[in-house]
Structure 1
Amino acid sequence: MGTRGRGRRRAPARGGPWLGAAAAFLLVAVAVFAYFVVRGDRHSSAAEPASPTPVGSASRACTPTAATTPRATPLPRADAFAAGGKHAAPIDVRVTVLNGSGTFGQAESVLSWLQNDRHFLRASNGGPAAHTQAATSLVYAPVHVDQARTLVAALGLPESALHATGKDRSATGRMVLTLGQDFHGIGKPFAAPVPTASVGTGCGGS
């Protein structure tokens, strides 16, 4: 019995080497995991650089821009307008008034004044023009120049507004008066609108 007891005490412990190997493997795994975590953080930081601010972007945002004014396509001049020639009677002036000024009611106000104050009883309201135009225009056929002179004298139209390019040369043919943005009311001089500056965004102004 004593011999068997001594044999059991001398047998080496079987769990010792396996525990050491498991601990070493665990340490290696932790080291590898930590390496990849640190490397991943570096790559993500490098892949997301701060967006650079475009050069001059702040100045462009705060620079006021002038409001654009629509430009009318110039109509060709067919003849020289002689203001001192024959004038038709207001009752014989046939004209259709269009509103191309961009301001509501301008054609109606001009028509009312022509009919009630100056007795242009054959004037009519054509409503809004196809598009807004910067300058007022009067289109008439050359045979109706005497009517054009009467209307020019009544409204004070500038020479630049006159265009003898009308195609209707009949006795009942009508002139077309299109009010532009240079019209500011009866009795007021025709003048181009002054561009207004629009405030840029992002300037922090009130």
Structure 2
Amino acid sequence: MKRKLFAALIPGLLILSAPAWAQQGFFVKPLVEQKVTELPPGDLFWHLATFATKDQAQAAAGPLGLVAEYDGKVWLFRLGRAGEGTAGGTRVAEIGPIPRITAQEYLLRVNEAGGPKGSATAAHTHPGSEAFYVLKGELSQKTPHGVARLTAGQSMVGHGTDTPMVVSNSGSDDLREFALFVVDASKPFSSPAQLQ
């Protein structure tokens, strides 16, 4: 698979994306991303694991793995098949299957997001699939399909391409979560939307 690596912490990227995301103190920060031109066939799952060192995580990443340091830990976010282990790492979660999309080029991205009690994103969509893993607090995702709630240690797959959503902190403490994406790289990452 051909892949291109991109720096995740581009200050301008966060500034440009903030109006589509942030509302009432909710924040979104890209941790790591890469573009790939193909995905393997079949059902795909996000595998989350932690490693003792960044070198160990990089060695286990493969062509669809993203490595990031967060909150004193080294994380590997790898797209793969159900039940695949991550050699040398400590398994945290397996999330999927994720809704598939078809594109000439795919953007794989992991964002850190959250905020204080009551904070929320503006209504928005993504040109692909999103999955969530909650590190701390309680997350709610409102879509036309209803409201889903997750607490620390829980994960879920979001709805498919262009589903309007609002993500919020519905708990009593601060929220911290990972949002994991497989989207069409040729389209805007996030677009404003209407949600009743």
Q: Indicate whether the TM-score tops 0.5.
A: no
Structure with more of its chain in strand, by fraction: 2
Task: Name the TM-score, length of structure 2 as normaliser.
Answer: 0.24
Task: Name the TM-score, length of structure 1 as normaliser.
Answer: 0.23
Structure with more of its chain in helix, by fraction: 1
